[in-house]
Amino acid sequence: MAWWGRDDDDYSLSPKSRRTNTEADFQVSFREWNSSTLLFLGVVLGGALLIAVVCAPRLGASGGYALTHSMVGEKFFTHWSFFDGPDPTHGVVEFVTFEEADRRGMVSAAFDRVFIGTEATEVLSGTQGRKSVRIESNEWFEDGLFILDVDHAPIACGAWPAFWMYGEDSQHAWPRWGEYDILEAVHNQTFATTTLHTRNNCDQAEVNKDLDFKGNWVNGQWGQEAKNCFIQAKGEFENQGCGQKQPAGSWGRHLNQAGGGTWVAEWDPQNRDIRTWFFQRGEEPADLLSKKPRPETWGVPTSFFTLRSKFCSPEHFKRMRLVFDITFCGDYGTPTMKTNCPYAGNCDAYVRNNPHVFSEAFWSIRALDVYRRPQERHGVISAPLGAYYEVLGEQEGSGWIFFGLIFTVLGLTGCVTVFYILSQKAADDNKSLIDTQIDGARAKLEIQGTGD
C-alpha cells in the first residue's frame, strides 16, 4: 500500500521519525512565538518612525526663527543708548542726549510709530555741527533676523543716514568685530547701499550679481567692483569696504511717496552668509507679515555676502549692536556732494546755512522686530560701565527635537527588526519545506522496507 494512503497518525512510522518531528514542531512553534513578538515590536517601532516623519515639519519649524524683540512702542528708547560723543566719521554734526533730543522734538515714540529726526530751524556758525541723533542698542547679537519697516526715510542734500550694526569694546577696536551697514544713503540718492567693513582677509570675489543677489557692486577707486571688505584694501577708497547697491526706489523721495518699505537683514553664521532683502510697500511676503518669516522662500536677496571660511570667516563678525543715526557730510557725504547735489556747493557750509532742507531728514519707523533661532546668543550692554553679559536664546522646541530623535531611532530599529524577522521567516519556511520533504522520503523508505 502506498504511504500517502495511510492516516497521519499511522504507527508504522518509526519512533525516531516521530521524535524528530516532535522536536521540529517545538522549534518551529518557539520560532513562531518569537517571530510574532518581534514582529509586533517591529510594527510598534516602525509606527514611531512614522510619527517622526509626520512630525518632521513641526520639528523643523522649532529650529526656525522665533520673535524675540518687537521694539516699536512707547518704550522704544529704553532699548537704546544715546551716543553724544564726537562723530567717528567726521561729520558736521553734534549728537545729543535723549533729554535734549526729547526737549527739541527730535525723537518721539508712540504705540505704532517711532520718530527720529534732526534739528531743522537754526542757522549755524562756522564751527558748529547740526544737532542730530545716534542711538545704539543696549543688546549685542551674534546672529539673527532683523526686520525694519519704515514709512519715511531721511532725505536731504548733505544728510548721511544709516541703519547698521558693528562690534567693538575696549579690547577689540573697530573693525576687529566687523561692521554690517544694512542700509545707508547720502543726499538725494534713489537707492540704498549695503556694505561690510572688516579687518584683512574678507574677500567677496566669488559672489556674483544676478546669481547671488539682485543689485550691483559699488565701484572702487579705479572703477572696478569693490569686492574686498578690508577697510584698507588696495584699489578701494579708505574705509570703503565691500558694498552692494540696492534696487532703484529703495531710498529717497520715491520710497517715501510710496509709503516706505520693509528691510530684512539676516546675519547667519550657521549657514555662512549675510543676506539683505528690500520689499516695497505691498510686496512683502505673507509669512513676513504674519510674523512667521521663512527667508528660504523669498528667492534671491537684494544683497548677499558669503561667510565661507575660505573667503571671509564668520569670525569677522561678533557681538554687534544695532545703530540708527543721521550725520551730515563727513567721510562719505563730502566727497559725493558734487555728484548728487551739484548746485549746493560746499557740503559743510550748505548744512550749516540751510536748516529748512532737513525737515525731511527723519526716520518714521513702523516696526523693528528681531528674530532668533533656538540657542542663538545675544547680550546686554551696560552703557555706564561699557560691560556686557550674555543671554542664551530661547530653546523653543527643544523637547520636540529630543522626542523626535528618540522616535526616529526607535523607528529605524523597528524597521531593521521587521526586515530581519521577514528574512528569517522566509529562511525557516524554506528549511521547513525541505525538512518535510526529507522526512517524507525517509518515512516512505522505512515503510517500503517494512513491507518487504
CA distances from 23 to 3, 16, 28, 170, 447 (A): 22, 11, 9, 84, 22
Buried b (16+ CB within 10 A) or exposed e, 247-281: eebbbbeebbeeebbbbbbbbbbeeebbbbbbbbe
Residue 40: partners with Cβ closer than 8 Å, 6 or more residues away: none
CB atoms within 10 A of CB 348: 20
Residue whose C-alpha is closest to residue 300's, from 268, 319, 323, 275? 275
Residue 377 CA to residue 381 CA, distance in Å, equals 13
Residue 246: partners with Cβ closer than 8 Å, 6 or more residues away: 183, 191, 192, 193, 194, 215, 276, 278, 302, 303
3-class DSSP assignment, residue 347: helix
Residue 107 CA to residue 131 CA, distance in Å, equals 12
Active site residue 184: yes
Active site residue 179: yes
For residue 92, give the C-alpha cell: 558736521
Q: Which of 119, 136, 139, 179 is catalytic?
A: 179
Q: Which of 136, 139, 184, 225 is catalytic?
A: 184
Which residues in 218-272 belong to E strands, given as ranges?
Answer: 242-245, 261-268
Residue whose C-alpha is closest to residue 315's, from 372, 376, 269, 265? 269
CB atoms within 10 A of CB 120: 20
Residue 147 CA to residue 262 CA, distance in Å, equals 7
Residue 254 CA to residue 271 CA, distance in Å, equals 34
How many Cα neighbours within 13 Å face the side chain of 422? 8
Residue whose C-alpha is closest to residue 196's, from 89, 82, 280, 314? 314
For residue 91, give the C-alpha cell: 561729520
Where in the sequence numbering do the catalytic residues fall?
Answer: 179, 184
